[in-house]
Amino acid sequence: MTSWTFKFLNSTYSHDNHHDSHHHGHWHHGHWHHGHRPHCPDPIPCFTPGTRFIAAQGPMQVENVKIGDRLLTRDSGMQTVIWVGYRDLSLAELIANPSLRPIHIARDSLGDGLPVRDMMVSPQHRFLVRGADLELQSGEYEMLVPAKALLGRPGITMAMQPTRYIHVLFERHEVVLSDDTWTESFQPAAKMVDSMDRKVQSELLSLFPCLQNSSAHAFDAARATLAPHELNRSFEIG
């Protein structure tokens, strides 16, 4: 078995890290509240209250982010938030749908100061990793890894408590600094539509007609994704 070593990225930032996405989407201003759905097999990548970003005016918790705020991104510097959404999940929903349970990531569990404090994210929320071996094998020096793939590492566990999932959207998919760790912003995709209520589905399809195609994304991903089974089978994270 090949053992690869790659690193989670901290807050080192440079405009030279720019990676263009050429298919940009646009959201109308507004806030949506996701209604209850009895089954959500593929939870949407999102943050939970308490996560901190670097905003133009200083540190800002995700629950205080509003449309028009500017947050630090890896590729594009300060970028304007164009939509914020949320979904509340009760304990009963989490018991009924284990795939919805948030992932708790303890301080320093990804490296020294990574994250800088305990944080929780949805299972599909992706973190930025990099490494020379990763580039050698995949051709990508930086990739995204979903939080659920990290379960089993010291300090990373599945939580069981009521929570609010919060989505932050920019003009394109971005890698945003959160709790001093680079993670992803919201990326609308067709596979997410079924996990939202009918009103939100209608809004999504009107804003992004391409999402009627089951394999479509509203715009390109900021980085390629390393599949959980690839991580578990072939990689040593460190």
| Three-state DSSP state, 29 | coil
Please say whether the beta carbons of 84 and 31 come within 8 A. yes
- The answer to whether 173 touches 221, Cβ cutoff 8 Å, is yes
pTM reported for the whole predicted model: 0.77
Asked whether the predicted pLDDT for residue 17 surpasses 50, the reply is: no
Q: How confident is the model at residue 217 (pLDDT cuts 50, 70, 90)?
A: low
Under 8 Å between Cβ of 147 and 105: yes
Q: What are phi and psi of 9, to 5 degrees?
A: -95, 135
pLDDT attached to residue 131: 77
Report the CATH number of the 4-237 domain: 2.170.16.10
15, HSE (Cβ side, Cα atoms, 13 Å): 3
Q: Which residue has the higher pLDDT, 178 or 133?
A: 178
The pLDDT value given to residue 14: 44
Q: Give the pLDDT confidence score for residue 209 in this predicted structure.
A: 74
3-state secondary structure of 206: helix
Token reading at 203: 């809004």
Distance between CA atoms of residues 219 and 171, nearest Å: 9
